[in-house]
Amino acid sequence: MQPNEQQPPSLRVLSRDEAETLELIADRIFPKTATPGAVEIGAINYIDLALACDYAALVPLYRQGLRAVNRYARAKFGRVFQSLDDELRDAVLLAFEAGSIADFKNAAEFFETVRCHILEGVFCEPQYGGNKDMMGWRLVDFPGQQFGYADAYVNKRVDLEPVAINSKNIEKKKS
């Protein structure tokens, strides 16, 4: 770990290897560019927390799918997913998206589930473990949980700072 890197949050369901594979998948689906990507925004933390709670029934699909990603990468390219370059990772994910993995019939379902959960983690209410510092909302200029809008915002772009449900800004607005 580099000196300026933050310690990752504790995992509840995923193993460190599973989380690392999922991070690499998330980075290909919603990559960091000039703006934060899914990993920086906290999508993996969101997914891990969701798998510990409301999405617990999906834990077997995640475990099987993440193993299948590495198995397919090894069979196709001779290396696990984590050691592939971005082009080869994309090839693996395209095969999963198409459902063309012979030994994993739920490949397309796994890919679509992960894709949806990554996007949920980027744009969710921050209290659910993702959307760190409301970064996802800032990317799309979503103002969050406002208590209404002044007439100046009717039919116009909202340029207010995002506010989450449990935000301290809500208390200031009530006063």
- Residue boundaries of the structural domains of the chain: 16-140, 143-175
Amino acid at 45: N
pLDDT of residue 165: 81
The predicted structure's pLDDT at residue 150? 61
Distances (CA, A) of 14 to 4, 56, 61, 100, 163: 24, 11, 12, 25, 30
For each of the chain's 175 residues, which pLDDT tens digit applies? 343 344 456 899 999 999 999 999 999 999 999 999 999 999 999 999 999 999 999 999 999 999 999 999 999 999 999 999 999 999 999 999 999 999 999 999 999 999 999 999 999 999 999 999 999 999 998 888 777 656 655 566 767 688 888 766 544 444 4
Predicted local confidence at residue 142, as pLDDT: 85
Contact 156, 67 (CB under 8 A): no
pTM over 0.85: no
Q: Which residues 6+ apart lie within 8 Å of 41 measured at CB? A: 30, 121, 122, 130, 131, 132, 135, 136
What is the residue type of 62? Y
Whole-number pLDDT of residue 4: 37
**Packing angle of the helix pair 43-52, 107-123 (nearest 10 deg):** 110
